[in-house]
A and B are shown apart, each in its own frame.
Chain A
Amino acid sequence: MNPGMHFLSGNIACAEGAIAVGCRFFAGYPITPSTEIAEHMAYRLPQVKGIYVQMEDELASMAAIIGASWGGMKAMTATSGPGFSLMQENIGLAVMTETPCVVVNVQRGAPSTGLPTLVGQGDVMQARWGSHGSYEIIALCPNSPQECFDLTVRAFNLSEKYRVPVILLMDECVGHMYERVFIPEEVEIVNRKKPLEDKRDYLPFLPKEDLVPEMALAGEGFRIHVTGLTHDERGYPATNPEAHEKLVRRLCEKIRVNKKKIVDYEGVLLDDSDVLIVAYGAPSRTSMRALREARKRGIRVGLFRLKTIWPFPEEELRKASSNVEHIVVPEINYGQLVLEVERVCKGGEVHLIPKMGGRVHSPREILEYLINLNR
């Protein structure tokens, strides 16, 4: 799309963000409510010499983007709940093999087939722990079509920088919301580090200072071996306790030590608040309205909006909540991120406002909750 102002849905904005940052490979399987991303990629990618391939299922989609990434393309897939479950297996492979790629999950009502066309936020913990094993991952959470564009760009950049799959955790409401989206002339583009060393001495999994190894691609003459097995710095299977300890620690630490650079949030009226709303995605929009109404009534409410869910902004939230009496967490599920909030916020009392039924909280609902707290 040409630079400038557009009127786009979150799903389309996400696809355009991917194209702007250099994504040239999309493998996916249709699923509501994410399908528009695949459709738009099928239309747009050939125009920019990119590849769209519709795979036979989400297992294959995830495997194909990892393969394409090792072939040198920036690659992504997009899905929703049931498809996200199927992708977990190879998300683990991408973590273990440190393969840059982006996975978009436009969350819908769940469990199981649940509410295919309606909103949900039930995959928050799955985004964090969905694949087996100890690992760290990055998950971003946009709350507007503009942010779907911006955070998709960021998702690719983080994924290239840290060599980790990055999950863009959208929700149906944001995915289907139409708003103005500004597409800039240029976006920041980060590319994976390439090895400069002599091909014979190159160790594909030898970390650099930031704990991230340089990435040689297939076909470049490095003769790399890449395995989902525990491996040494040469990439060879090494299923001994020392190798496992070393690898798992590094895979986790490369995200943990860089957390400050990854974490991103928006704070609204944090300084003087007695009540803090912690929200992400669609409920952060209705929370904003509730906040304004509450302020009019003299209730001092602040909003801590997470743009990065994983890694969780512990320190930042702890600081923002240190002087509040109440922390209110509206989520479109029966309580997920609230567990992290409870873990982190030691001062005020934490309240969950759950929401099921495939609907977004109304501003009134949240406002009434705030008013009742202040009675």
Chain B
Amino acid sequence: MMQAQEHPLEKYLRVDRLPHVWCPGCGIGTVLGSYVRAIDRLGLDLDKMAMVSGIGCAGRAAGYVNMDSFHTTHGRAIPFAVGLKLAKPELIVTVFSGDGDLFAIGGNHFIHAARRNCDLKVICVNNFNYGMTGGQLGPTTPLGAKTTTSPYGNLELPLNLPYFAASCGSSYVARWTSLHARNMIECFEEILEKKGFCFVEILSPCPTVYGRRNEMPEGLDMMKLFKERCEIRNFEDTSRVGLNQEKIIIGKFVDEEEKETFEDRVYSLMEEVKWGGSR
């Protein structure tokens, strides 16, 4: 009889929790798969890693990785991670969540964690809408797109996430799509090794609730669109990578030299300050 073989990535996942909740054709699984492949390539110790998620489809990722993981409240993954990382600086802390979670309800936290240069790896799966609640407009929904709360077309302008992240002081900013698995893995390897606030946006199809209202009913439809329209422009000025143009600009936009992190400053203060308050 054939012995069931363990998948080489099984040890990175909570296989006892599979199957996962994501729909067929959804891009989130590819993003998570690339993330664990990056861990595998780097040979990182899972006991020294933690993942923090907020709420939403992407927010479920924390439940599937075989490391300490925290599925928190809507929008609060980043401040939770700020506290966790400060208390346990030896951990590599990844925030894995969606565009609505990180940039609508949690937008303010993003600004300030980036500004402080907290040593967090923030991965945002951008599916252009609120998937888990059935497909409402969000901060990244394109102008004119149909969602359940923009039945006549979206009246709002979407946020250019890399531009926003860069302007807040992120040490590393990149954008890939779920089609670009290879680049994604390399990118995740880079951020997992890099100190400081790192931000990666991954464009990802949501056929079930976004695609089907916008003439892309299959997961493959948006992948085709990525294939046709993506153009890699590393270190492009992020003000020019908005998704309101024909070309979808992807690549690594910001990769600063290592800067002092917030955690560095907090811990060196502890060393310097004397009982009685002098420095």
Chain A contact residues, CB within 8 Å of chain B: 25, 27, 43, 46-47, 49-51, 53, 55-57, 59-61, 63-73, 75, 89-90, 92-93, 217-229, 236-237
Residue of B nearest to A236 (CB): B17
A46–B17 contact, CB under 8 A?
Answer: no
A71–B69 contact, CB under 8 A?
Answer: no
Q: List 28 A-B contacts (CB under 8 A).
A: A46-B269, A51-B266, A53-B266, A56-B111, A57-B108, A59-B79, A59-B109, A60-B79, A60-B109, A63-B83, A64-B79, A67-B52, A67-B70, A67-B83, A67-B85, A68-B86, A70-B68, A71-B88, A75-B87, A90-B72, A90-B76, A93-B73, A218-B84, A218-B91, A219-B48, A219-B91, A224-B69, A226-B69
0 or 1 for each of B107-148: is its CB under 8 Å from A? (1 = yes)? 011011000000000000000000000000000000000000
B residues 39-69 near A (Cβ < 8 Å) are: 46-48, 50, 52, 62-63, 66-69
If the complex has contacts A66-B80, A67-B80, A221-B47, are A72 and B112 also in contact, measured as CB distance less than 8 A?
no
B residues 247-278 near A (Cβ < 8 Å) are: 266, 269-270, 272-277
B276–A55 contact, CB under 8 A?
Answer: no
A351 to B: closest C-beta gap in Å: 41
A229–B273 contact, CB under 8 A?
Answer: no
Q: In the complex, what residues of B have CB within 8 A of residue A46's CB?
A: 269-270, 272-273
Residue of B nearest to A50 (CB): B270
A66–B69 contact, CB under 8 A?
Answer: no
A64–B80 contact, CB under 8 A?
Answer: yes
B86–A25 contact, CB under 8 A?
Answer: yes
B50–A218 contact, CB under 8 A?
Answer: yes
Q: In the complex, what residues of A have CB within 8 A of residue B276's CB?
A: 47
B90, CB-defined interface residue at 8 Å:
yes
Q: In the complex, what residues of B have CB within 8 A of residue A57's CB?
A: 108
B83–A72 contact, CB under 8 A?
Answer: no
Summed over the interface, the residue pairs from A and B with CB atoms below 8 Å come to a total of 153
If the complex has contacts A51-B87, A228-B71, are A64 and B63 also in contact, measured as CB distance less than 8 A?
no
B14, CB-defined interface residue at 8 Å:
yes
Residue of A nearest to B112 (CB): A56
A225–B63 contact, CB under 8 A?
Answer: yes
Partner of B76, one of A59, A221, A226, A237: A59
B31, CB-defined interface residue at 8 Å:
no
B275–A47 contact, CB under 8 A?
Answer: yes
Q: In the complex, what residues of B have CB within 8 A of residue A61's CB?
A: 79
Q: In the complex, what residues of A have CB within 8 A of residue B84's CB?
A: 67-68, 70-71, 218
B69–A73 contact, CB under 8 A?
Answer: no
If the complex has contacts A67-B80, A72-B87, A225-B63, are A55 and B112 also in contact, measured as CB distance less than 8 A?
yes
Residue of B nearest to A89 (CB): B73
Alpha-carbon separation in the docked complex, A50 to B69 (Å)? 24
B187, CB-defined interface residue at 8 Å:
no
The 4 closest A-B pairs by CB, nearest first: A71-B87, A67-B83, A64-B83, A60-B79
A156 to B: closest C-beta gap in Å: 15
